[in-house]
Amino acid sequence: MLELAQHILDIAENSIRAGAKLIVISVNEDTEKNLLTIDINDDGCGMKEEEVKKALDPFYTTKTVRPVGLGLPLLTDAARKSGGKLDLQSQTGRGTKVTATFRIDHIDRQPLGNIPATLITLIAANSEVDFIYDHRHNGRQFKLDTREIRDEIYDVPIYHPEIIKYIRNIIEEGLCEIETEA
C-alpha cells in the first residue's frame, strides 16, 4: 500500500467483516507536535486476547480465502518506518480500536492519499454501516457522520448516485477548509 488512505480502507473493511455497524475514523494532523495519528474504532465482534496477539503476524488470518493477513502488519510497518507505532486494542463483543502514529516530517511517511475516494468507497459499498469521519488539522476540524446524512435524505438510499456526489462534495470542501494534505 502506497497511501495511508489505502490502509484506512483495509482496516475499515476488516471492521465490516467483523460485523461493525458503526466505524469511527479519526485523523489528527498536528504539525506543532510533528504527529499524524489515525484511529479506527468499531463496534464489531472484537477479538479474543490471543487473537489480538496474533493479529500483527502476517501469517495469521481469520479469512478463509487466503492464508495471510497483511493489513495490520503493513500498517504497523508503515508507522514504524516513519518513527511511529501501532496500537491494537480489542474486546470480544465490544469492538476493536486501531491507532497508528506517524512523524509528519519523516521522509518515509506515506502520504495521506485520497481520503474522499476512500470514504466514498466505504459508504457506497456498505449502506448498512454508519461511518463517522473526524479530521483535525492544527486545531481545525471537519466531521462527517452518515447518521446525520441519513436523517436529511429520508428514504433515499445513501448509495444513490446523487447522494454519493453530495457526500463527496461535503468531504472535499470540508478537507479543503481545514487545509489538510488529503
pTM of structure: 0.91
**Which residues face 89 on adjacent strands?**
97
Measured distance CA(126)–CA(72) in Å, rounded: 21
Provide, rounded to the nearest whole percent, the portion of the chain with pLDDT above 90: 81
User: Do 26 and 34 form a contact (C-beta atoms < 8 A)?
Assistant: no
**Which residues face 37 on adjacent strands?**
28, 101
Note the CATH number of domain 4-177: 3.30.565.10
Q: Report pLDDT digits (tens) over 8-39.
A: 999 999 999 999 999 999 999 999 999 999 99
Task: Indicate the pLDDT class of residue 73, thresholds 50, 70 and 90.
Answer: confident
- List the one residue out of 113, 150, 152 whose CA is nearest residue 132: 150
Identify the residue with better confidence: 52 or 112.
Answer: 112
pLDDT at 59: 57
What residue ranges do the domains of the chain occupy?
4-177
